[in-house]
Amino acid sequence: MPTIVEVSELTKEFSRPDVRPGRFAGTRSLFTRARTTTRAVDGISFRIDEGELIGFLGPNGAGKSTTLKMLTGILVPTSGSVTVAGHVPWRDRRRNARTIGAVFGQRTQLWYDLPLRNSFEIIRDLYTMDPATYRTRLGTFTDLLELDEFIDTPVRSLSLGQRMRGDLVAAMLYAPPILYLDEPTVGLDVVAKGNIRDFVAEANATSGTTVILTTHDMDDVERLCRRVIIIDHGRVLYEGSVEVLKAQYVSSRDIVVHCADFNATSISSPFAEVISADRFKATLRFTPTTTPAPKVVHDLTSRYPITDLSLLEPDLEDVIRQLYTERSASTTRGTSS
C-alpha cells in the first residue's frame, strides 16, 4: 500500500526563560537571555500506509500529543520533516485540513449552544459538501452510531458518550482519508466504548480510512490495531505488530486445564509450574522462549484426562510495562557505564 504519512527525524523543542529562585526572580528573567530547553520529540521516524489502523502509544509526557500536533499542522517542528497525504502540514494548512479529521477526547469541535444537527450543517458548508452526499453520509452515520434520539439536542445537553459520537461524525462527515483519534474513549462507559470502537473499525474496513489512535486503554488497541508505534521520552521504543510485541516481551504464559473425573490438584508438568489448582481446574505457567506451547499441551493431554484446555493471551498492558522496564534498565546501564 502507498505511504500516506511519512515522518523523518522529527524533533520538537520548547524553550522558556530560566527563572532562578530568590527575590525579584520574575523581574530578572525579563533581562536575562538564559533559557531552559526541553526536547519533547527527539528525532523520531516512521511511515504509515494508506488504510492502516495504527496505535500510537506511550506514557504521559512521552511526546505523543506533540507529535500529533505537528502531524495536524498545529505545531511547527524544530527539525526534521513530515508529509501527510503529500502535504507539509504547517505549510499547506488549508489542504491539510481537508485531508484529516481529528477527535480529541476532552475537546470538542461542535458548537456548544446549537443542536447537534446544526453543527453538522455548518461543517457541510465549511467543506462545501454536495447536499445529496451530505444526506447519505449523515444517514449512514446516524444509523451506525444511533444518533436519532439526540441529533436535535443542543450539544451542551449531551452526555459525554453522545458528544463523542457527535465529534466522530463531525470529523468524518467530509470523508477525510486520515483520522486522528486522541483518547476517543476516555471517560466513557462500556456500551459507549463499544459503539465508538465498532464505528472506527467499520470506517477503516469499508472506507479505507487511515486511523492513528492514541490511547491509554489497551482494550482499544487490542481490538482495533494490528500495528503499534510506542514512544517514550520523545523516542520510538518499538514499531511493529501487536503479535510480535507480545512474542518478544512476554516472559511467561498461562495455560488452564479442566478435568471432569480426575482431581486437578494432582496435575504437574516438567515443562510448567502449577500456580493454582482445585478439584476441577489447574493453572500452569511456562516460559514460551524455552518451551513452546504445543510441547506443554502435548505433555498434559497425553498424561491426564483433560476435558478442556485454554491458553491465556498475554495482557498487552503488562507487555508494554515490561518493555518500558527493560528499556529503562538498559538506559540506566548505558549511562552508568
**Domains detected in the chain:** 3-10+44-246 (3.40.50.300), 251-311 (no CATH)
Q: How many CB atoms lie within 10 A of CB 38?
A: 10
The pTM score is 0.79
Point out which residues pair with 55 in neighbouring strands.
Answer: 213, 228
- 273 contacts 285 by C-beta, under 8 angstroms: yes
Residue 36 pLDDT: 81
Q: In 3D, which of 163, 63, 148 has the Cα closest to residue 109?
A: 163
pLDDT tens by residue, 69-88: 999 999 999 999 999 999 99
Distant-in-sequence, close-in-space partners of 214: CB < 8 Å, separation ≥ 6: 55, 56, 57, 64, 65, 68, 180, 181, 182, 183
Query: What does the pLDDT profile of the chain (337 residues) look like in tens digits?
Result: 799 999 999 999 998 766 666 665 656 666 666 678 889 999 999 999 999 999 999 888 889 989 999 999 999 999 999 999 999 999 998 899 889 999 886 678 899 999 999 999 999 999 999 999 999 999 999 988 889 999 999 999 998 888 988 999 999 999 999 999 988 887 778 888 888 888 899 889 988 999 999 988 888 888 899 899 999 889 998 999 988 888 777 778 899 999 888 899 999 999 999 999 998 899 999 988 888 899 999 999 999 999 999 988 777 877 887 787 776 656 555 555 4
Phi, psi (deg, nearest 5) at residue 290: -105, -30
